[in-house]
Amino acid sequence: MALPQAKLDATEARLAALTPLAGGAWLTAAQDQAVARLRAMGLPGRRDEYWRYTRPDRLISVEPTPASVFKAKDETPIFDAFDAIKLVFVDGVFSPDLSDQPAVDGLEIERLSDAGAKDIHWAKDLYGVLEARGQNPVERPLAALNTAYAQDGFLIRATGKVSKPVRMIYLHESTTSDAILHHVIKVEEGADLTVIENGPAAARFNKVMEVDVADTGAFHHIRAQGRDHERQAATHIFARLGRESLFKSFTLTANGVLTRNEVVIELTGDDASAHVAGCALGDGDFLHDDTVFITHDAVNCESRQVFKKVLRNGATGVFQGKILVKQGAQKTDGYQISQSLLLDDDAQFLAKPELEIYADDVACSHGSTSGALDETALFYLRSRGVPVKQATDMLTLAFLAEAIEEIADEAIADEIHDRLAAWLQRRRG
């Protein structure tokens, strides 16, 4: 079907302002294919069903809406206490000076611009490939745009149990920066890798991460999206999981005027497991959208989606989750929960938790709730002498606990918990 003229115009205007990263044959081919994909679908518009609850205008405009840089006073940056291989980006550009020299057993890290210049590279089979697979049945044009025009990023390959996490730090310095990053991660058979990401990255941030986890491999992902109020972000994770592999991802989002996090996972090997979780806290001008699509295409796999949102002062939370169980994907265990705590009357929660099931021997369930704090629980705490503000925080943290429990590493879970508690304390009414 022909695209509406307005959509074509918006797409062409955006493309005209971008230049692809120069590279060798494999990268150029991937970029060209992505441009063709993008032209065929057009950038998202506000009438698109998949963008029903989140207006994409600011994510597709030619120039980004400026966003001021937020500097936390006297605060230790999150995750600084953990030993990790640091890779620092400033406004979407890698800064070797600020970064560590990665030299760890079982780990190969290459910058996209270096690897892209080579004639042949292992990433050829993944770069833009998992993204392209994730375009069906739902189109994700911003991801295709990313594959075509990513300016930087890393190709990371884990061949064994990696002793330290890889930590990517995204600093935001310019109020008008528009960053496009693309990472490819390959976890080989039996390998184990943790990737931590934090920071707002830019005024506008478009990021794609393609993750291929081979049989019996494990991948852990922890992310804290920076606290800059005015930043806008559209991120995608495309993951493909082999037999008996594990994928776990947790995202903490506090503040941010517009965030759309899409996670697309395909379970292709038997007995694989995928967990995606997130906590989002919003106060005021805040829209946070978690869009998750999990496809079960193998036997005896498990997937969990746990998303919690705390919203106040007109903040909006969006959840679009889907479990697709293909024919033959028997013994699937799929779970999905999306909950919102609305701390005042202006907050909104918009959800579309979907199931599409073509196999009969499966256990799939989903739940979605929305409402205020439980008055009875609040009353109980107050009757025990807890002041109302503290009681509210306690109950809010209890509400968020199920998502935090999805983090395997206890130290990281504690850090996330502390940050959530601090945020709530700062914003007590």
Partner 1 sequence: MAQLDESQIREGVDRETVETVQSMAGKYKYGWETEIEMEYAPKGVNDDIVRLISGKNEEPEWMTDWRLQALARWQQMKEPKWAMVNYPEIDFQDQYYYARPKSMETKPKSLDEVDPKLLATYEKLGIPLKEQMILAGVEGAEDMPAEGRKVAVDAVFDSVSVGTTFQAELKKAGVIFCSISEAIREHPELVKKYLGSVVPQSDNFYATLNSAVFSDGSFVYVPPGVRCPMELSTYFRINAENTGQFERTLIIADKGSYVSYLEGCTAPQRDTAQLHAAVVEIIVEEDAEVKYSTVQNWYPGDENGKGGIYNFVTKRADCRGDRSKVMWTQVETGSAVTWKYPSCILRGDDSQGEFYSIAITNNWQQADTGTKMVHLGKNTRSRIVSKGISAGHAQNTYRGLVSMHPKAKNSRNYTQCDSLLIGDQCGAHTVPYIEVKNNSSRVEHEATTSKVDDDQLFYCRSRGMDEEEAVALVVNGFCKEVLQALPMEFAMEAQQLVAISLEGSVG
Instruction: Name the site residues for partner 1 (rule: CB under 8 A).
Output: 49, 327-328, 330, 340, 342-345, 347-372
* Least distance between partner 1 and beta carbon 357 (Å): 5
Q: Tell me the C-alpha distance between 261 and 247, whole Å.
A: 17
Q: Which is nearer to partner 1, 355 or 408 (CB)?
A: 355
Give the HSE-up count for residue 346: Cα atoms under 13 Å, Cβ half-sphere.
10
Asked if 276 and 249 count as a contact pair (C-beta separation under 8 A), the reply is yes
Q: Which is nearer to partner 1, 77 or 367 (CB)?
A: 367
Please write down the HEC assignment for all residues of 25-90: HHHHHHHHHHHHHHHHHCCCCCCCHHHCCCCCHHHHCCCCCCCCCCCCCCCCCCCCCCCCEEEEEE
* Least distance between partner 1 and beta carbon 369 (Å): 5
Upstream peptide bond of 137 is cis (omega within 30 degrees of 0): yes
* Least distance between partner 1 and beta carbon 252 (Å): 23
Q: Which is nearer to partner 1, 350 or 401 (CB)?
A: 350
Q: Which is nearer to partner 1, 147 or 320 (CB)?
A: 320
- Cβ partners under 8 Å of residue 390, min gap 6: none
- Cβ partners under 8 Å of residue 125, min gap 6: none
**Other beta carbons less than 10 A from residue 24's beta carbon:** 15
User: What residue type is assigned to position 391 of the chain?
Assistant: A
Asked if 60 and 118 count as a contact pair (C-beta separation under 8 A), the reply is no
**Other beta carbons less than 10 A from residue 104's beta carbon:** 15
Q: Which is nearer to partner 1, 6 or 363 (CB)?
A: 363
* Least distance between partner 1 and beta carbon 368 (Å): 4
Could you give the angle at the alpha carbon of 250 between the alpha carbons of 245 and 254, nearest 5°? 170
* Least distance between partner 1 and beta carbon 32 (Å): 31
Q: Which is nearer to partner 1, 206 or 396 (CB)?
A: 396
Q: Which is nearer to partner 1, 358 or 379 (CB)?
A: 358
* Least distance between partner 1 and beta carbon 374 (Å): 10
Q: Which is nearer to partner 1, 354 or 409 (CB)?
A: 354
Query: Which of 287, 352, 361 has its CA nearest to residue 323?
Result: 352
Sign of the CA dihedral 372, 377, 382, 387?
negative
* Least distance between partner 1 and beta carbon 287 (Å): 14
Q: Which is nearer to partner 1, 105 or 345 (CB)?
A: 345
Tell me the DSSP string of 234-300.
Answer: EEEEEEEE-TT-EEEEEEEEE--SEEEEEEEEEE-STT-EEEEEEEEEEESS-EEEEEEEEEE-STT
Q: Which is nearer to partner 1, 3 or 357 (CB)?
A: 357
* Least distance between partner 1 and beta carbon 364 (Å): 5
The 10 Å CB-count burial string (b at 16+, else e) for 213-222 is bbbbbbbbbb
**Other beta carbons less than 10 A from residue 212's beta carbon:** 23
* Least distance between partner 1 and beta carbon 2 (Å): 13
* Least distance between partner 1 and beta carbon 376 (Å): 13
Parallel/antiparallel/unpaired status of strands 85-90 and 93-94: antiparallel
* Least distance between partner 1 and beta carbon 343 (Å): 7
Conformation bin of residue 61: beta by default, left when phi > 0, alpha when psi is -120 to 50? beta
